[in-house]
Amino acid sequence: MSFVYHFAKAVVNKQNPFEFYLYSRFSKDIAISYIDGDVTIVSPTELQQYQIDTLQTLIDNYVDPDVFLQLTATNTYPTTSDETNSTTLTPVHAFINAYNDISPPGVLNAIKMLIRCNCKSTEYFGTMEDVTSMVAIQVYDKTRNYLIANSQVEVSGIVQGWKDIAQNGDFSAQQSYVTLSIEGLRDKLTNHDCIWEIRACVSDEHIYVNLGSIQFLYYDVQT
């Protein structure tokens, strides 16, 4: 059994981004159609009034984007990056951002990194009062001497875990993982091969980091 709901909407010129907009903010279980200013939602379950109100608000607030990026392909590469415990940005890995207008399909717009966080011993963390800790990542185009992106990820939960282990009398080395996504790369690309360098630093020199893998995300561009 399905439940059908109708909503009025003035302008939706781009069906795909409109669907993505609703799926990402409401549910992927609904079916969406748009005809002559009316949005029809088909749901496998009956919606509560607050859900209907949420849909109405989302539809009322929708504006067609200038550019819509739809994920089309990913490539994942294991890395053997250098390890660092530097508190200033230090190169740990480099790769060729190869220009290729044939394959894979789409344009590179995001990089997802798996970051290994290590400590040689938990003893130091056992007496730490403030466990707030960060890993900073910078992507830099060495060929063009051009900053691609700066980002950071909080690793306080990892450090808290090391503190708890130490306070239980275990001072062994530990390893944990965290992921970081850097987006908005589409406007940083060029039509020739470039060497991109990844730099990393930590908020405390007792934290060691390196990269476990890098995933490149390619998108179809719809204007």
What mean pLDDT is predicted for residues 28-33?
A: 87
What mean pLDDT is predicted for residues 202-222?
A: 90
Using 50, 70 and 90 to split pLDDT, how confident is the model at 101? low
pLDDT surpasses 90 at 118: yes
Beta partners for residue 5, in sequence order = 41
pLDDT surpasses 90 at 186: no
**Stretch (H or E) spanning 58:** helix 49-61
Using 50, 70 and 90 to split pLDDT, how confident is the model at 14? confident
Give the pLDDT confidence of 35-52 residue by residue, as tens digits.
877 889 999 999 999 999
pLDDT of residue 100: 58
Is-contact 18 32, C-beta < 8 A?
Answer: yes
CA atoms within 13 A on the CB side of 156: 5
116 vs 21, higher pLDDT? 116
As a whole-number percent, the residues of the chain with pLDDT over 70 amount to 96
Q: Which domains does the chain have, with CATH numbers?
A: 3-65 (3.30.70), 69-222 (2.60.120.1200)
Compute the mean pLDDT over every residue in the chain, rounded to the nearest whole number: 89
As given in the structure block, the two tokens for residue 171 are 């001072």
